[in-house]
Amino acid sequence: SGRWVKVEAARREAEKSRTEAELKNLRNQLNPHFLLNTLNNIYALIAFDSDKAQAAVQELSRLLRHVLYDNQQNFVSLGKEMDFIRNYIELMRIRLSANVTVETQIDIRADSRTEIAPLIFISLIENAFKHGISPTEPSFIHIHFSESPGRVCCEITNSYHPKSQTDKSGSGIGLEQVRKRLELTYPGQYEWTQGVSDDGKEYKSILSLFNIQHYESNLCHSR
């Protein structure tokens, strides 16, 4: 039986290593197409709005800093992750035409120290920009984040313009990876509902993480 215990321990260790490698791989997934598009947009902006181009370069550098450094930890503060998401959305706005409305509501304190797995929401936002915007028809994206003790919720609603007839699900490799990562990091601690409305015009994704470590801000308390 001692041999069985050793074999079982080795199997568990291998499983743990595989899980950690998979998590690392999932975390390093800021889309290279997004970076390329952003650089192209900044290049175009330089010609007619150099101030905006400078601001965009700053946003991009903040974004990369988060991905390269903060993202290497297993958890980051929720406040920091929301900064990252704001920067990301601002960069996405650069290339939007006038017929697209993007509304964001972030009901999370800037000093929230609740810990969260980094980049877990970004694929959902990327997905909304990918499937929620038509080059010709009026489009919208509404993004709402909220926090209550032990729970963080991300609700995204967007107009639905699938890229092709075969692309009806609104999901792709990005969302499959989100599901995998949720199972690895928050097993039994999340609810995720998503789908297209009955009239086929709207896509909604609601992701709630619960029973997560919640820290009250201690700004009011002197140490």
What is the enclosing helix (H) or strand (E) of 100?
strand 100-107
Classify residue 46 as exposed, middle or buried by CB count within 10 Å of its CB (0-12, 13-18, 19+). Answer: middle
Residue of 135, 147, 132 lying closest to 82 (CA atoms): 147
Distance CA 82, CA 67 (A): 13
Predicted TM-score (pTM) of the model is 0.77
Burial letters 94-107, b for 16+ CB under 10 A, else e: beeeeebebebebe
Classify residue 172 as exposed, middle or buried by CB count within 10 Å of its CB (0-12, 13-18, 19+). Answer: middle
CA atoms within 13 A of residue 74's CA, in its CB half-sphere? 9
Domains (ranges, CATH) in the chain?
Answer: 2-210 (3.30.565.10)
What is the full per-residue pLDDT of the chain (223 aa) written as tens digits?
688 888 888 888 887 777 777 767 766 655 676 677 778 888 888 888 888 889 888 888 888 887 777 766 778 899 989 998 998 898 888 878 889 999 999 999 999 989 998 888 988 998 898 889 998 999 999 999 999 999 999 999 999 998 765 554 444 567 888 888 899 889 999 999 999 999 999 999 999 999 887 555 444 333 3
What integer best gives the mean pLDDT of the chain? 83
